[in-house]
Amino acid sequence: MKFIANTTSLVEHLQKISGILVSKPTLPIIENFLFNIDKKTLTITSTDLETSMSTEMSVESDGKISVAVPSRLMLETLKSLPNQPVTFTIDDKTFQVQIKSEFGSYKLAGLAGSDFPKIPEVESESSFSIASDTLQNCIAKTLFATSNDELRMNLTGVFVELEKNGITFVATDANRLVKIKRSDVKPGVVHNFILPKKALNLLKTSLSGASVPVQVDYNRSNAFFSFGDTKLVCRFIDEKYPNYNAVIPQDNPNVLIMSRDDLYNTVKRISIFSNKSTHQIRLKLSGSEINISAEDNDLNNEANERIACEYNGEDLEIGFNSKLLLELLGSLDIDVIKMELSSPKSAGLILPNEMEKGEDMLMLIMPMMINN
């Protein structure tokens, strides 16, 4: 059986789904790409048993076959070739794959496609559509705030809450929290689930480019994303998410409004002088200015800067982890931010001074005890 494909196009499709591959899989065959050729369509699939991704492209073909091909060997071979049509010949009995280019031929040992793990099919309990740029934006603004602690698996993914007239994305690592609600997405149902970090990273990368509708289907155990020529299936994190609303302070009388860039750049400079294990900085708010300082008593280093700001509230001194604060500020693409504070022992809120249409966003960061 033969088919002809363009190297550049094929490499592009292979790279799109290669992020799923793992170096030491529990099942050896998942080190392979699954090639399904049916008439003039090639469907390529990769999986790690928890997340699966497939993409389609047109080829010149004379038949139908399913074969598992060595992923890294295939990808490295095609990437080393210039843009040109190459011919693939697959032995129906041994599943050996021969690639013929202008320069020569290359043989790879394939496996029967029937031995490849079955990918879950869409048997959705419900579905909704979301614009790809909206989904990508929500993932980018929450994913970094998830936890890496495998002992708290529920915090390693992004919590998604579906409502009839909106969708909410939440991420936290217990030291900070990001919550984004979109009112321009209307799932029409009330439901929730936790999406794993790896699947979201793959989605974020694959959704780059032009805005297209993303069809989202789900059942009790999996979510199915379909956009353009690509499909992604991922298993939910089967854990209960904490009541995140309980940690969001409601009464925050001290309000700071200032340039995001000014605050970010100052914190970045001052953090250089902070203790390398705690990363603690101090924010002292008084009148119409903020004093940001840090010290490392072990090395006898210290720094402080003053910035003009708009502040309404009582004089306040509060400590934060500069590393976490910089990541929160760095994820924002706005000019002016608002910080709402109540006391040195209560969480601080960071919000856009003006909300984007259709989006309601909130960030929370826990304070650090200041040792005077």
Give all domains of the chain, ordered by start, each with its CATH number: 2-115 (3.10.150.10), 126-245 (3.10.150.10), 248-365 (3.10.150.10)
Structure tokens at 280: 């603690």
pLDDT at 79: 95
Q: Which among 286, 247, 294, 287 has a CA at the least distance from the CA of 270?
A: 294
pLDDT at 355: 83
pLDDT at 117: 96
Structure tokens at 4: 């002809």
Read off the DSSP letter of residue 368. Answer: B
The radius of gyration of the chain's CA atoms, rounded to the nearest angstrom, is: 25
> How far is the C-alpha of 322 from the C-alpha of 330, rounded, in Å?
12
Beta bridge partner(s), residue 217? 127, 224
Triad 63, 67, 72: Cα angle to 5°? 130
pLDDT at 116: 96
Beta bridge partner(s), residue 111? 68
- The angle that helices 322-330 and 260-271 make with each other, rounded to 10 degrees, is 150
Confirm whether pTM is higher than 0.85.
yes
Beta bridge partner(s), residue 3? 61, 88
Structure tokens at 75: 């990808």
Structure tokens at 87: 């011919």
Structure tokens at 316: 């306040």
Which residue numbers in the chain have pLDDT < 50?
A: none
